[in-house]
Chain A
Amino acid sequence: MEFILHFPVIGLLLQFVAYLVQVMIENGGLIVTVATPIGLGALCGFMNERSGVVNIGIEGMMIVAAFAAWWVAALVVPVLPATAGPLGITLPLLVGLIAALVAGVLVSAVHAWLSISVRADQIISGTIINIAGLGITGYLGLLISQNSPATAGNFDSLTFPAGVISIPVVGWLMETFLEHGPITLSMLVVVVVLQILLYRSRWGLRTRAVGEHPRAAETVGINVIALRYRNVLLGGLLAGLAGAWFTIEYGNSFQSGMTNGRGFIALAALIFGRWTPIGAVGAALLFGLADALGTAIRQSPPVGDLGVMLTTIPAQVFTALPYIVTIIVLAGVVGRSTPPAADGQPYERETKAA
């Protein structure tokens, strides 16, 4: 093995892989945490786009849900008992979570109505949701923050005894994937369920059919409009979860524009993951890793030539990486990512006398 290190490029590459693995092992939990809103947002996009509705309004849906969770939880905290159950779940937080889910579904309903019933341009509908969502939450958030409202706190993470964590491999897996709050844990469940349903259930088959060839789906008796509505609204639940993550799991307060483009990275993850649940969440994790790598290189760069090389890369490159990678993948330079064929096309039933 020793001689390999004499070939500088291969040596550096191996060192880099080793460093990457080290970053992954040391920051596993953090990567999953950071990936949660992106992954859930991407799953929301998945629900929309696999049934043929483009959703670039994930960002707007998330910010409205984040606001709703924070605001409603703060509203009810003075009147509801706040005894914490497991995972730090209190009644006010639960009410906040429900508010976020409702908000996500309501905003999705606007998107569904505009893009399915009104047959407005779906991309413009998504843009409206982004602009209006950012506007209304920024406006109300500022007004509410002025009165320094009570905070409902946030969810706790699941913890395991030190003995369990110290088990090799299994302990690391549990620490990385399970030591999280309920929203992150729910993402891990949802992604598996959706992946199975997509390829193994009647719903999945119908959704794929409607997203690829709605006319054919209608011919065999599938109600295209109803299925699209249902999927977009269910997607709203996931955007609601993603939004709630910001204000009642990761943090406990709301700032204007706090989703900070995560909705758009979610879109990137969906495309990078080729419109499948596992792919989308996998991409979200990869983007989380890029993030962690950028931080790790600043804080504890690897020793030797590799460290010197990596520290010369500007930190901004790592932040921009998800976006650049998405463009490259979409352009088909590294494998092609093709959206569902009917994505973005409003469906119009054939009339009797066509």
Chain B
Amino acid sequence: MNLRRTISVLTIPTLAIVLALIVGGAVMILSSPLVNGSLDVTLPFVAYAALASGAFGSVDALVQTVVSATPLILAGLAVGIGFKAGLFNIGAQGQFLIGAVAAAAVGAGLAHASPFVAIPAAVLAAMIAGAIYGFIPGFLKAFTGAHEVVTTIMLNYVAIQFVAYLITGPLRAAGATFARSPDVGAASLPILIGDNGHLGIIFAIAAVPLAWWLLYRTTLGFEVRTVGANPDAARYAGMSPKAVLIATLSVCGLLAGLAGAGEILGISGYMPAGYSTNVGFDGITVALLGRANPIGILFSGLLLGAMRAGSNLMQINAGVPVQMIDVLQGVILFFLAAELLVRAIFRVRAAKAEVAELQTVSRSYGGQTTP
């Protein structure tokens, strides 16, 4: 990839972030009477300074940024690889939860085993469980034409109920004050750096080159991209779009499941009944901001991780609620979608070889043709 091409790919995401920070600042100024009683023009500067210092200000902050980015990178890959095949995986949330509960269950079962057995077993269980949960919408789309956007949304809610059932029922820890699974004990991921820099970070960082290799250096990856670009051409060339999309969604589920394992085994150590997470939506933002490219996803995941990590200090120092990050995310996405608007504002010309894969997701929605 030459420099000019790289710059042209980076332009719109960068401008979208800049515009989002400006809009976010405007929202802060307009809502500042609610924060500290009077209209405060300096609030965005105070808030963004606190955000930056909470994300990058110290070694602990940097570690926290990477820890927050870990599930986002994996979930971003889980959405982004889907985009490459022309699939919109809104189900990263559900795949994450199923992976998390599988890791919690296996981890609890092996809590007193050797870590060398418990950790691989729990992580593998999460990946397999996530992959199965990704396989379902893939299978349904391939053989019945049920659109993955709707089925994955529905499966997200099924996953929430399934987890609630498991944790309040068969998996409930005896003697706990609230519904939760037993501690994972020996399956806890070792802390590598700082207070909570757990092994899961390595999983996420390793997944990026692996995903890149899979997409750009393997036959499957070539088929994934071909099916995404033109399923008819892929079929004509002797590929099986059905098999490819089932495999793709399974891999997506596997990655999201791995993210779930990292959070349970690396941070909480158990699974509560109502595990609240935003990882599915965050993954979509990360994938879109990273242009569905693994390297891009690494950086956009780190950026969003930094925002999540710094948001607490922003709330403490500036009184701006952490929900500001959700606002910024929404605005970033808006400007990414309204590329036309961004180009008009900054007078940027469209690059010739612009990736079109992000605009192909709805294509199969109405026709519901089996691929």
A residues bordering B, Cβ < 8 Å? 52, 54, 56, 110, 114, 118-125, 127-128, 130-136, 138-140, 142-144, 146-147, 256, 261, 264, 267-268, 271, 314, 316-317, 319-320, 323-324, 326-327, 330-333, 338-345
Contacts and interface: CB of A to CB of B under 8 A. Distances in A.
Interface stretch (B56-64, B142-150, B192-200): B142-150
B340 A345 contact: no
A268 to B, nearest CB: 6
14 contacts: A54-B365, A118-B339, A127-B333, A128-B334, A131-B284, A132-B326, A134-B326, A136-B327, A314-B165, A316-B161, A317-B161, A331-B146, A331-B151, A332-B144
A330 B147 contact: yes
A316 B157 CA distance: 10
Given A139-B326, A316-B161, A340 B366 contact: yes
Contacts of B144: 330-333
A271 B145 CA distance: 14
A147 B358 CA distance: 42
Nearest to A270: B150
Contacts of A326: 150, 154
Given A327-B155, A345-B366, 19 more contacts: A118-B337, A118-B340, A121-B360, A127-B281, A131-B284, A131-B326, A131-B330, A135-B323, A135-B330, A256-B323, A264-B157, A317-B161, A320-B162, A324-B154, A324-B158, A332-B146, A339-B366, A341-B366, A344-B362
A340 B366 CA distance: 6
Given A121-B359, A128-B330, A143 B146 contact: no
A146 B34 contact: yes
Given A132-B330, A264-B157, A338 B368 contact: yes
Given A139-B323, A316-B164, A341 B367 contact: yes
Interface residues of B, number: 55
A342 B88 contact: no
Contacts of B153: 56, 264, 267
Q: Which A-B residue pairs are the 10 nearest by beta carbons? A: A132-B330, A135-B326, A344-B365, A343-B366, A344-B362, A143-B34, A139-B323, A316-B161, A320-B161, A323-B154
Nearest to B88: A123
Contacts of A142: 321, 323
A244 B147 CA distance: 30
A339 B151 CA distance: 14
A317 B284 CA distance: 28
Interface of B: 27, 31, 34-35, 88, 90, 140, 144-147, 149-151, 153-155, 157-158, 161-162, 164-165, 169, 281, 284-285, 288, 321, 323-331, 333-334, 337-341, 358-363, 365-368
Given A132-B327, A343-B365, A140 B31 contact: yes
A327 B323 contact: no
A268 B154 CA distance: 8
A117 B13 CA distance: 21
A135 B327 contact: yes
Nearest to A115: B362
Given A121-B362, A139-B27, A139-B327, A267 B337 contact: no
Contacts of A134: 281, 326, 330
Contacts of A124: 88, 288, 333, 337, 358, 361
Contact of B334 (A132, A342, A345): A132
Contacts of A327: 140, 146, 150-151, 154-155, 158
B285 A131 contact: yes
A123 B324 CA distance: 24
B362 A122 contact: yes
